[in-house]
Structure 1
Amino acid sequence: MTKRSLISAAGAMFLAATSPSLSHPHVFAEANLEVMVSADGHVEALRHVWRFDDLFSSTVLLEFDMNSDLALSQEELDQVGGVIHESLAEFDYFQFVDVDGRAVTMAPPEAILANYEDNQLIIFFESKPQAPLPLKGSIAFGVYDPTFYTAIEFTEDNYMSVSPLPASCARTVVRPDPDEAIAMNQDKLTEAFFEDPTTNDYSKLFATRLELTCS
């Protein structure tokens, strides 16, 4: 499959990789993030589920439905997952983890699984910390597209969960107000940021995030 076909297949999500100047959402996904915790109080993995909007889902169906039966076979779904896996690698799979303000490196997911039900594309993937990650201090987890092309939405606070939540940790879901985020970071958000947000990491200031404060 050619690069041109890859971009066509994934629609707006993959256009983000080649059109960073388009800085407002064109694709919408309702997300669920589950932070898996081991018995000794370390982050084992982040489990992601994204359910895409009807328009984007239909675009993927039309592109990958090779036999035109208006359904996606397992082979076709595997192709969808492979394309998404390859395309999001450049953007660290739209996820971030910070510990006391320092970025944590996450290993790439082994695979991205795709499903198609009720006319919506759903993807599942799991990523693990590159190094052991104990639940100590202030830890933030978020999912966002640095190009602003894809809106990853957590419509309910319980869609960002910790399993199990240690007694030593307090959990908060933070939904930044865009105007407040801009006002608080005015000295950092230059004109270049608004023209091309992919040149920096400030776009995560606007992302919904799960914060854990652990003793």
Structure 2
Amino acid sequence: FVVAKAELVFGPDGRIVAIRHAWTFDDMYSAFVTEGLTTGDALATKEQLAPLAKTNVEQLAEWNWFTVGKAAGVKVAFAAPVEYSLEEGADKLVTLRFTLPLKTPASARKAFALQVYDPTYFVAFEFDDKAPVTLVGPPPGCSTNMWKPDPLGTADTSKLSESFFTNLSPGADFGAKLASRAIIACP
């Protein structure tokens, strides 16, 4: 399970140039990746976690970094991540931070939509409740709204057996159906 935060970075011309991600992993994954790195109550350092951070951002390329951005309904393309790191917080949870540049800056004048999800739903993503998406350097008047899908009903969850997930086609994109969406609009 991952709690996601995103910052949409605007350039001087008022277009979105990058997305800064901060993904905080659950206690099980965090314990797994930090096991054996420290003794006692010491926290793993960014330096100790740097090789894993590099591996994570490189391997996520296959999945488009679990990030879907759309400007006026058209998917945007991303360049390779920059400024990436993993860090362990005082709560012992590990957070992956990386900046995902857009290959071509995108306007938010006709709305920009952002979703963060694993299409296979192997990793469950949820936007942070308090500060899910923030804007960095936006033009005056920009706003952000969050849309959350309806929770699955009992009838839906009963269909989610192991065989359901095993038989998903590569194009099923089940994670998209359960993913929250941030809508950013600028005048």
Q: TM tier, shorter chain?
A: 0.7 to 0.9
Question: Structure 1 residue 43: deviation in Å?
Answer: 0.6
Alignment partner of 1:199: what SS?
A: coil
Is 1:61 matched up with 2:40?
A: no
Question: Secondary structure of the residue that 1:137 maps to in structure 2?
Answer: coil
- Pair 1:108-2:85 in alignment: no
Amino acid at match of 1:143: V
C-alpha separation in 2, matches of 1:170 and 1:54? 33
Residue 34 of structure 1 deviates from its aligned partner by: 0.7
- Please name the residue that 1:140 is paired with: 113
Given that residues 23 and 96 in structure 2 are in contact (C-alpha distance below 8 angstroms), is that contact kept between their aligned partners in structure 1?
yes
Matching of residue 76 in structure 1 with residue 48 in structure 2: yes
Which secondary structure does the structure 1 equivalent of 2:104 belong to? Answer: coil
Structure with the largest fraction of helix = 1
CA change 1:161–1:99 in 2 (3 A) is same
Instruction: From 172, 192, 201, give the equivalent of 2:145.
Output: 172
2:7 pairs with one of 34, 37, 41: 34
Matched pairs, number: 176
User: 2:15 is aligned with what amino acid?
Assistant: H
| Alpha-carbon distance in structure 2 between the residues aligned to 1:200 and 1:87 | 21
2:67 is aligned to 95
Q: Percent sequence identity over matched residues?
A: 26
Equivalent in the alignment of 1:128: 101
**Paired residue for 1:162, among 125, 129, 135?**
135
1:170 Cα shift? 3.5
Alignment partner, residue 214 of structure 1: 186
TM-score of the two chains, using structure 2 as the length reference: 0.80
- 2:175 counterpart residue number: 203
Distance across 1 between alignment mates of 2:169 and 2:94: 27
For 1:30 and 1:88, locate their aligned partners in 2 and report how far apart those are by CA, in whole Å: 17
Distance, in Å, in 1 between the alignment partners of 2:137 and 2:46 is: 33
Question: Cα gap change, 1:160/1:69 in structure 2, threshold over 3 Å: closer, same or farther?
Answer: same
Structure 1 stretches of 5 or more lacking a match?
Answer: 1-27, 184-190
2:160 maps to none
The separation in 2 between residues aligned to 1:39 and 1:160, in whole angstroms, is: 20
Contact between 2:71 and 2:110, CA under 8 Å: does it hold in 1?
yes
Give, in angstroms, the shift of residue 76 of structure 1. 2.4
Q: CA deviation at 1:205?
A: 3.2
Q: Which runs of 5+ in 2 are unaligned?
A: 157-162
Structure (1 or 2) with the greater strand fraction: 2
Aligned 8 A contact 2:88 2:94 in 1: yes
Give the CA deviation at 1:157.
5.3
CA deviation profile, 1:12-66 (whole Å, cap 9, x unmatched) = xxxxxxxxxxxxxxxx12221111112321112111111111111111112x63x
Please provide the CA RMSD for this pair: 2.7
